[in-house]
Chain A
Amino acid sequence: MRVNQDLDSISFRAGIRRGFWRTQSFEFPLLFMLVRSEGGNGPETWFRFRFDLSRFPGRAPSCQLWEMDSDEEIREENRPKKRNSDGNLEMFDPFKPWQGSHIYRPWEQETVSHLDAQNKHPHLAWHPDRDLTFVLEDLYERLNRFVPAGNV
């Protein structure tokens, strides 16, 4: 199965060894992953992502932010946030509420058609040659591009 190949790839395992992400559970088609936000000057925080990989990789992965300790979509107060130039906390664009708790990125199943991703964001759009490491690196990059404040 292609998902198993991705989970066993060197680049995926390298992400685990580097502390970027962890696999929490996998029972096809559901994969739960934890991705680390380094937290800048604050504490590091892990965020939980629920992937639905039905018909993967022909179909883009569905990816939602999920509560850490319960089986439900993430609550507003637990979404990833960053500190803006005024010192106030605001949500990261990819993690604002969208179709429930789906991630707003061009590789995500719900987002891909809304964004016209293949034309407007080809470097981030999904295609079957991409793998789960591509997705996780993008999530890790988004969570750590700014100095995030973690959970409030």
Chain B
Amino acid sequence: MNSQTTELDEMILVEGPGMSEVIEVKVKTGAQLQEIIVAVARVGNFSPEKAFLFLENETKPLNPEHILDAKHPRHKVHHVHTQKEITVKIFFNGQEHKMHFSPATTVKKVMGWATHEFKISEQDATEVYLSIHGSSSPLQGTAHIGRYVAHDKHTLELDVITPAKVNG
């Protein structure tokens, strides 16, 4: 890698605990991935020392000593969280199911698991969504669940909401 390339700034898309939307952090090409962790920890006001960095929907954290090089999938949304796993408990129709997910798991993926566990048919699933337990506001399908779990917590309770279908 030449010296000119190492001076270039990269904008990496990241989510983390407490964030309302994806953010961009600036990291130099050739820097260690640890710099992404440090930048997000600064925004989220937590210690970077024990935080993990994931790619979206991946369960295994990236090695923070790796270099942000040409092969790095920079188009993917990253996730920084102090928890390696989130315990997700989902409620629907008086039943509940529990599963462990990486904080970088999308709401859409958790929704897919929930519709399977609660045996919600494909047709019925057209308009269902997940909300924080006790609330009716929908969570964005593309959001990572780690957004909704504070850095010092490791559980997330969700409801499956089945609103009226949108059809003529």
Which of B21, B108, B125, B164 makes the CB contact (< 8 A) with A10? B21
Kindly list chain B residues whose C-beta atoms are within 8 Å of the C-beta of A18. Answer: 13, 75-77, 142
Kindly list chain B residues whose C-beta atoms are within 8 Å of the C-beta of A4. Answer: none
Closest chain B CB from A94 CB (angstroms): 7
Query: What does the 1/0 interface line of B127-150 toward A look like (CB < 8 Å)?
Result: 001000000111011100000000
Does B75 contact A19, Cβ atoms closer than 8 Å?
yes
Contact A137 to B136, CB < 8 A, known contacts A85-B122, A121-B163: no
Does B75 contact A106, Cβ atoms closer than 8 Å?
no
Closest chain A CB from B4 CB (angstroms): 23
Closest chain B CB from A8 CB (angstroms): 12
Does A93 contact B122, Cβ atoms closer than 8 Å?
no
Q: Say yes or no: is B126 at the interface (Cβ < 8 Å to chain A).
A: yes
Q: Could you tell me the distance between the alpha carbons of A123 and B108 in the complex, rounded to whole angstroms? A: 17
Does B168 contact A10, Cβ atoms closer than 8 Å?
no
Does B168 contact A14, Cβ atoms closer than 8 Å?
no
Which of A10, A96, A146 makes the CB contact (< 8 A) with B122? A146
Interface positions of A from 74 to 103, Cβ below 8 Å from B: 85, 93-94, 96, 98
Chain A residues within 8 Å of chain B by Cβ, number: 26
Kindly list chain B residues whose C-beta atoms are within 8 Å of the C-beta of A106. Answer: 166
Contact A10 to B22, CB < 8 A, known contacts A18-B75, A104-B168, A121-B166: yes
List the count of A-B residue pairs having beta carbons below 8 Å apart. 52
Does A14 contact B164, Cβ atoms closer than 8 Å?
no
Does B77 contact A93, Cβ atoms closer than 8 Å?
no
Does B77 contact A123, Cβ atoms closer than 8 Å?
no
Kindly list chain B residues whose C-beta atoms are within 8 Å of the C-beta of A141. Answer: 108, 141
Q: Could you tell me the distance between the alpha carbons of A18 and B142 in the complex, rounded to whole angstroms? A: 10
Does B13 contact A14, Cβ atoms closer than 8 Å?
yes
Does B141 contact A14, Cβ atoms closer than 8 Å?
no
Does A123 contact B166, Cβ atoms closer than 8 Å?
no
Which of A11, A19, A94, A140 makes the CB contact (< 8 A) with B166? A94
Q: Which residues of B contact A (CB under 8 A)?
A: 13, 21-24, 75-77, 108, 122, 125-126, 129, 136-138, 140-142, 163-164, 166-168
- 9 A/B residue pairs, CB under 8 Å, sorted by A: A10-B21, A10-B22, A18-B76, A18-B142, A114-B168, A121-B164, A137-B140, A137-B141, A145-B126
Name 18 extra pairs, CB < 8 A, besides A14-B77, A18-B13. Answer: A11-B21, A14-B22, A18-B77, A19-B75, A85-B122, A93-B126, A93-B166, A104-B167, A104-B168, A105-B166, A106-B166, A114-B168, A121-B164, A121-B166, A124-B166, A137-B140, A137-B142, A141-B108
